[in-house]
Structure 1
C-alpha cells in the first residue's frame, strides 16, 4: 500500500469480509428495515435515550457496528504486533465512528468496550492468550466473559523464532540467480504500486516460497513477518484442515450423515447433511448469501450453534453452491462434538495442527460459547500462511508426521460437485474450502488458494513447488491473484 488506508470504515470492512469470494446463487436481498429495530415510529414516539446516539442507522445496525469495532480494536491491540496507529488506521476515521461510538480500552484486563446507545450496555470484546478476542453478545455485561474457557496455564506458547525455517525464522531464505531475482523483484515492485499497478489491489505483504525456501519477501511500512492481521475467509482453509485432522484421528467421517447431534431427530431433513456437503459450501441451508446469518455471527455475538445449526433447509444437500460461513463454522463444530474433550477443545487447533507447523502467530477467535469462528475471524501473519501452504504441498506430511490424511491436498483442490455460477464467466472454481485457479483465470498451471476478503491469499501451485502469500487491504479494485501468480511464475522461469 502506498499509504495507510484509513478511510476504510469498519462497516465496509465487515460487509466486504462477509460477502467475499463469489457471486451468490440468489440476487442480493432488497434493503429492508431491520426487524430487530422494531416497526418504524414517528419522532414523537422515539425516546430521547433511544435516539441520542443513533445517527441514521437502526439500533441493531449500530450494535453490530460497535461490536465489530470493539473486536477489531481488541484483536489489533492485544493479539497482533501492529502499532496502535495502524490498528486504528485499518479500522476507520469516519465521523460516525469518532462521534457516535466511544471506545474504552482496559489494557490491564485486555478488554475493549464501545458505547453506542445511551440505553444499552456497551459492546465488549475480551482477549485470551492464543485465542485473540471474543465479542460478547448484544446487551451483555462483562459477566458474560465468565463463559469463556481460559487458556490452559500449563500450555505455554512455543518460542520457535530461533528454530530453522519453516518451524522458525532462521535460514528461511534462499538466493535466486541474478536474472530471476531481478525479474521477481520487478513483479513485487508492480504489486506494491497498488491501484496504480497492473495487478491493482492495495498490498501490505508478500512472500514467495519456492522449493520450501523464501525467495522474495516484502512488507509495507508498519508490517513485518511477525505482524498479524485479520485473514477474513483465508481462515476457511484452516477449517477444512481441522476436519482433516479429525479424519486422520478417526474422529469424523466426511461422508457420514448428521455430523451434528442437533440434526439426529428421526425425520429431520438436516440429518441428510454430511461434512463433505458443508466443506463444499452445499449444505442446502437457506441463506440469502453469506450476510445471513453471518452478519449477526460477526457483529452481534450470535452463537452459530443457535443461529446457524438450527437453520431451515432450502435445497437438497450437495446440490447447490452457496458461499456461507456457517457451513465452515459448523464443520469445525462437528469435530468438537466428535472429540468430546471438554475444555481441552480450546487448544485443539494449536496442539494438533498450527503449532506443529510453527504457526505460533495465528489466532482463531471464538464466540462466547467457545466455538471457533473459523469462517473468517482469524488473525495471522504472511509467514504462518506460508507454512500452511508448505503443508499442503507436502500432502499433509510435516517433519515425518502425517497431520492430514493421505490425499487430503487432492481432496481440497478437486472441484466440488456444485460450483459457483461465476465459473461460467471465468471466475475461480471451488474445492473444499479452497478456491481453484487455472488456465480459465489466466494461470499457466493449476493452483488452489486460501482466499479472503480485501485481498488475502495463500496460493499453492503444486506443479511449480510454489507457495505465494499475498496480504492486503484492497480498497477499490481488488488484486488479480491469478495474474499476479502468472507473473511470479514467469519471473521464476527467466533465463
Structure 2
C-alpha cells in the first residue's frame, strides 16, 4: 500500500513539474498558431481549413485551437494561454500582447500598383512562350516531378525555374497558383539587406558606420558597424533555437518591439571574433533602417518605393510588429513569381529593365564569404562557396527561409530557381533538386 502511495505521489510530482516547465511554451504555441492563421487568411486568402490541415498541422502547434473573427484570430491550447493576432491595412497581421493599444494607429504604406501587362519578369502579364534549344525540357519536367513526387514528406508547394529572364518550368500543388502569396520566413532577411544596398548605392549610408544604438554609447558595443550586423559578426549574445523558449521565439511571439531585443543583449566577443546567425540582428537592422527617416510614413513607404513596387513585386507585403517595425527577420510574403523577380534583380546585378537599383559591388559584397561561417554566409545571403551543395556551382547564393523556402541565384548558369514548401532537408533533398534541374541546363 505504501509503495502504491509513493508511486502515485511520484507521478503527481512528475506531472506538476512537467506542467510547470511546459506551461510557458503554451504562450509560444498559441502565439504561433494565432499568427499563422491570421496572416495566411488575410494575406494569402487561403481557407481556415487548409491552414489547420497543412500549416498548423505540426507537432505542438496542432494542439492549438484557433477562433477567427473578422480581422483577428485567437488561439488557445487546452483552453489556456489565449493569444490574439490583429490585422492592419498595409501592415499585415501582428501578434499582440497586454501592451496592445487598439487606439494606437500607424500609417499604412502608400503603394503604387502600376498596371503593367508586359511579359514576366518586367511586367505582370503572361510569361513569354520561349523555347531554348539548349534546354532539355524533358529532363526539366522530370526534375519538377521529383520535387513533388512524395507530397507527404517533401511538402513542396511551388517550383519556378527562370533561365535568361524566361520561365522554363513552373508547377504548384493544388490550392496554390502563381498568384498565391507565400511566407518567405528568413528570406525576408535578404530583402531587408537589399534596402541597405539601395541606400548605400544612393550614397545615404556607410556600412562602416558605428554608434547606431544609444544604449551602446558607453561600452564596447559602440564599435559594432552595419557591416558586422549584415554579416552576423556583431559578437552579441543570441540563441536562435526554434525548438523551445529561446531568444528568437520570445522575440517573434512575445515581444512588442522586436527591433530592441538584440540591442539589449550583451557582447560575448568583439566584432568579427565569432559568427552567430541571429534573427534579432535582422530586426535590429530594421530599427536602424527606421532611424534613417524623418517620419514613420517615410520608413513604411521605403521598401515599396525603393524596391518592391519599383520592380513590380506587387504581391509582396512585409508585416510589422506592434510598434510598427518591419519584421525584417521573418515576415515577408510574396507569390512565387515575385520571389523569382527578387532573385532576378540580383542575377542582373541590381539592374531592372535598364534602371540601376544597386551596384555590382553590392552583389560582390553579399556574396563574399563571411569569416568563421565556413563559406556558407555572406551579407544576409547564404552561399555555396565551400560546396554545401556539391552538385551545384560554387557561385550559387540564395535567400533561405524556414521550412525550405529558397530563392537560388546561379550567375554562371543565368538561372534563378524558387522552391517553396513546408519541409527542410533531409525531407527535401536540395542538392538532388538542384542537380536534377542543372542537368537540363547546359
| Counterpart for residue 61 of structure 1 | 25
Whole-angstrom CA distance in 2 between matches of 1:278 and 1:78 = 32
1:199-278 residue pairs with structure 2 within 5 A? 201-263=154-216, 265=217, 267-278=218-229
**Deviation of 1:175 (Å):** 2.6
Q: Is the 8 A contact 2:31 2:75 kept in 1?
A: yes
The verdict on how the C-alpha distance between 1:119 and 1:149 changes in structure 2, with shifts beyond 3 A counting, is: same
**Deviation of 1:458 (Å):** 0.5
Match of 2:439, SS?
helix
**Deviation of 1:117 (Å):** 8.0
Whole-angstrom CA distance in 2 between matches of 1:317 and 1:257 = 12
Whole-angstrom CA distance in 1 between matches of 2:190 and 2:151 = 27
1:116-131 residue pairs with structure 2 within 5 A? 116=77, 122-131=82-91
| Counterpart for residue 73 of structure 2 | 112
Whole-angstrom CA distance in 1 between matches of 2:282 and 2:436 = 32
Whole-angstrom CA distance in 2 between matches of 1:296 and 1:148 = 24
1:103-182 residue pairs with structure 2 within 5 A? 103-107=66-70, 110-116=71-77, 122-137=82-97, 139-140=98-99, 144-152=101-109, 155-156=110-111, 158=113, 160=115, 162-173=117-128, 174-177=130-133, 180-182=136-138
Give the gaps of 5 or more residues in structure 2.
1-11
* Deviation digits for residues 255-287 of structure 1 (CA, Å, limit 9, x no counterpart): 111233432x2x321101011111111111012
Q: Is the 8 A contact 1:435 1:451 kept in 2?
A: yes
Whole-angstrom CA distance in 2 between matches of 1:309 and 1:384 = 32
Give the gaps of 5 or more residues in structure 1.
1-41
Identify which of 33, 38, 58 aligns with 1:74: 38
| Counterpart for residue 279 of structure 2 | 325
Whole-angstrom CA distance in 1 between matches of 2:336 and 2:286 = 23
* Deviation digits for residues 365-406 of structure 1 (CA, Å, limit 9, x no counterpart): 111011111111222221111000111011112233221234
Identify which of 362, 376, 385 aligns with 2:339: 385
**Deviation of 1:413 (Å):** 0.7
Q: Is the 8 A contact 2:111 2:305 kept in 1?
A: no
* Deviation digits for residues 102-124 of structure 1 (CA, Å, limit 9, x no counterpart): 433222xx11122458786x322
**Deviation of 1:225 (Å):** 0.8
With normalisation by structure 1, the TM-score equals: 0.78
Question: 1:408 aligned to 2:369?
Answer: no
* Deviation digits for residues 178-205 of structure 1 (CA, Å, limit 9, x no counterpart): 9711111111111111379xxx733110
Question: 1:284 aligned to 2:235?
Answer: yes
With normalisation by structure 2, the TM-score equals: 0.87
Q: Is the 8 A contact 2:376 2:385 kept in 1?
A: no
Whole-angstrom CA distance in 2 between matches of 1:475 and 1:237 = 19
Whole-angstrom CA distance in 2 between matches of 1:56 and 1:167 = 55
Whole-angstrom CA distance in 2 between matches of 1:492 and 1:466 = 9
Match of 1:170, SS?
coil
| Counterpart for residue 83 of structure 1 | 47
Q: Over the residues paired in the alignment, what is the CA RMSD in angstroms? A: 2.8
| Counterpart for residue 189 of structure 1 | 145
Whole-angstrom CA distance in 2 between matches of 1:460 and 1:476 = 19
1:441-460 residue pairs with structure 2 within 5 A? 441-442=389-390, 443-460=392-409
Whole-angstrom CA distance in 1 between matches of 2:260 and 2:211 = 16
Identify which of 304, 327, 330 aligns with 1:373: 327
Higher alpha-carbon deviation: 227-236 or 461-470: 227-236
